[in-house]
Structure 1
Amino acid sequence: MPEKGEKGFTLLEVMISLAILAGAVVTLVAAFNYHLKVASETSDLVAASILGRFKAEEVSLYGPPGIMNGSFEGDFQAFTWEMQPLDTELPGLKRLDIRIGWDASKSLTLHTFY
């Protein structure tokens, strides 16, 4: 015990402060890791959306391709695509489902008409 007039912290006060600080640091690191994961997943989802739109534009410009699946080139080699044309009740109008896949288990499906 400090005597009267001595300044400073007791060992108990220092230990409590360190425990609070350690809890805060662990919480911040966990939150940072979570947000990095979410940002990465969002980035892949945005890329898949853009690539799907690109394929839909190709169909609107050139008609449906003879090949109905494949993969992208360049920076997007991890992404694959599949197209499935479907008839609709309206004559002359077809629905096209475009599925963009990545990471072997994730995918995004876009629907368009032509």
Structure 2
Amino acid sequence: ARPEDFGRYPKIPAPVRLGGALDRLMTKYSNLYGDLSEPGGYSAIARDRKFGRDFLIRRADRLLFGTDFLMADQEVPHFDLFDSLNLPEDVQQKIYRGNAIRLLKL
């Protein structure tokens, strides 16, 4: 999704990779969701852990770990990072599964 397209499709959830402007864009576009599974999501949170933790809590209803495939021995540093941030249980639940269930109507 490109920023210039966000307002054109107000009823369609638009996933976007984390970046410096994502928090501001999420304020402006209520249909914008963030996928934390790609490397940029990890880097953005790890770069500034205080802001990252606050962001995850503030935007918990619109963030998800959206990968569709993990190999049995694949390392996923995201989980250790999220654990180290001491996120509330409800925030973790939303990011790891609740938001995907809600968005995809599973």
TM-score (normalised: structure 1): 0.23
Task: Indicate the structure whose relative CO is greater, using CA pairs within 8 Å and at least 6 residues apart.
Answer: 2
Query: Greater share of strand residues, 1 or 2?
Result: 1
Query: Greater share of helix residues, 1 or 2?
Result: 2
Q: Which has the larger radius of gyration?
A: 1
